[in-house]
Amino acid sequence: MSEFLISITPMNWLLDPLTHDFMRRALMVSALVGGVCGLLSCYMTLKGWALMGDAVSHAVMPGVVVAYALGLPFSLGAFVFGVGSVALIGFVKQKSRIKEDTVIGLVFTGFFALGLVLVSKIKSNIDLMQILFGSPLGISRADVNQTLIISFIVISILLVFRKDLMLYCFDAKHARSIGINTGILHYLLLTLLSLSAVVGLQTVGIILVVAMLITPGATAYLLTDRFDQMTLLAVASSAFSSILGVYISYWSDIETGGSIVLVQTLIFLIAFLFAPRYGILKNQIYINNN
């Protein structure tokens, strides 16, 4: 890769991919999806819903397959199964003595397995690899439109309810005590999670969507003590990782989803080591000086 890089200038490295229609589309969609998932990831990490994010993103699998088979927009099927899995988790938890994390694990693996079985049984031109690992470079115009619409919905709802959802994550009891309907907020957040998982699997696929839903939030959480700053940092780092991931994937011909998530993980590692207040090296210096 290095000798390859020497032969092109940084300018070319940035501009060449933009001459391709598919790359412009991939970069636009990836940045948007990164931003949306980055925004939501703040709420997921603060509420402690990482496992829930994993569950919902896996549980959409059969929905995607069924939607493809029926010729419906895949996001519709994914959304129905995402919300369905959440409802089922709530139901099983309420009606049995099983602990929540067990129920979550049970339900999402069941849904995911159903998806795998359906893929092998329903004869269609579904590309399993595309569902599992995403393919932003091969995204169709119809899929771009779906992504735009869903992203718009998620961003609008998060902008309107960001304070209420933040309060719900911080202190649901207080929210209730001032007359806010926390039941609605709970399901609103779960709905947003399902929608974000749907757009996220466009770029990184079902398996890695959960990274989009937690890593940017976790990185930002290490960098600031302010909620608003945290959301901005998460969105910025997530969109940046997505764009850089797509570029790297283009130039070095590596799998795009993996590339995006790996960049995110690297940014997290940098924050983990060097964050001004919460990085581990900061603590090290502090200990050595005392």
Q: Using CB under 8 A, which of 227, 236, 251, 270 touches other proteins?
A: 227
For position 49 contacting other proteins by CB under 8 A, the verdict is no
Instruction: Please name the amino acid found at residue 149.
Output: I
Residue 164 binds other proteins, judged by CB under 8 A: yes
> Of the candidates 70, 226, 276, 280, which one interacts with other proteins according to CB under 8 A?
226
Among 2, 163, 288, 290, binds other proteins (CB under 8 A): 163
Closest CA to 140 of 259, 22, 20, 18: 22
Report the amino acid identity of residue 227: F
Give the DSSP letter string of 127-171.
Answer: -HHHHHH--GGG--HHHHHHHHHHHHHHHHHHHHHHHHHHHHHH-
Is the CB of 118 or the CB of 175 nearer to other proteins? 175
Length of the chain in terms of residues written: 290
Stretch of 77-85, 86-94, 169-177, 264-272 lying at the interface with other proteins (CB under 8 A): 169-177
- Cβ atoms of 151 and 134 within 8 Å: the answer is no
> Smaller CB distance to other proteins: residue 99 or 226?
226
Report whether 222 contacts 272 (CB < 8 A): yes
Q: Cα(155)–Cα(59) distance, rounded to whole angstroms?
A: 23
- Least Å distance between CB 225 and other proteins? 4
Q: Is 282 in the site for other proteins (CB under 8 A)?
A: no
Site string for other proteins, 116-155 (x = CB under 8 A): ----------------------------------------
Helices (H) and strands (E) in the chain, counts: 15, 0
169 binds other proteins (CB under 8 A): yes
The residue (of 166 and 190) whose beta carbon lies closer to other proteins is 166
CB-facing half-sphere around the CA of 89: CA atoms within 13 A: 28
Q: Does 177 bind other proteins (CB under 8 A)?
A: yes
Residues that bind other proteins (CB under 8 A): 46, 160, 163-164, 166-167, 169-171, 173-180, 221, 224-227, 229-230
